[in-house]
């Protein structure tokens, strides 16, 4: 017979390599396990618990993500000035601060000039490094008083009467 691993011709024996039954030569048999050939579960493959874990991981991976639910709040108005003030108070220049959070100095300069809005991941890194909060919770769709006293918003609330 021919070894299914190295291709040598000669006597082979069945061995389990990575839960796969192969007919291998005695030299390649050291890479496998012969003990799985006996017993009632010989050659059945992965157990049901392993399959269940893999299915659960796949299910979590395949779920759709709600982009709006992940946003925790809005950036404060002068986020760049706040970062600059706290950074200089801690005695760090832009180069040192950028190196401490594994970012480029140009990115930090643009953020401090309010030319670049940092994404959520970068915002969290800056907040953690400087021990500040750059986000604030904003109430969406506040109460608008309608003339009828019904509390519902109508088109009349948006029209400016002359």
Taking only the tens of pLDDT, the chain with its 162 residues reads 899 889 999 899 898 888 888 899 999 988 888 776 444 555 556 677 888 888 888 888 888 776 665 555 788 889 999 999 999 999 999 999 999 999 999 999 999 999 999 998 999 999 999 999 988 876 554 444 445 555 677 777 777 666
Fold of 74-136: 434 Repressor (Amino-terminal Domain) (1.10.260)
Domain positions in the chain: 1-38+46-63, 74-136
Q: DSSP letters of 114-153?
A: TSS---HHHHHHHHHHHT---EE----S-----TTSS---
pTM over 0.95: no
């Amino acid at each position: 017979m021919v070894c299914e691993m190295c291709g040598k011709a000669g006597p082979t024996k069945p061995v389990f390599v990575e839960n796969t039954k192969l007919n291998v030569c005695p030299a390649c048999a050291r890479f496998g396990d012969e003990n799985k050939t006996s017993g009632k579960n010989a050659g059945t493959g992965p157990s049901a618990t392993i399959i269940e874990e893999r299915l659960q991981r796949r299910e979590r991976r395949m779920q759709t993500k709600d982009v709006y639910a992940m946003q925790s709040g809005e950036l404060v108005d002068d986020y760049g000035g706040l970062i600059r003030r706290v950074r200089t108070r801690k005695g760090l220049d832009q180069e040192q601060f950028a190196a401490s959070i594994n970012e480029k100095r140009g990115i930090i300069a643009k953020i401090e000039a309010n030319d670049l809005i940092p994404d959520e991941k970068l915002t969290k890194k800056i907040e953690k490094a400087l021990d500040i909060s750059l986000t604030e919770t904003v109430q969406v769709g506040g109460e608008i008083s309608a003339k009828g006293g019904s509390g519902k918003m109508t088109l009349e609330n948006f029209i400016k009467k002359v």
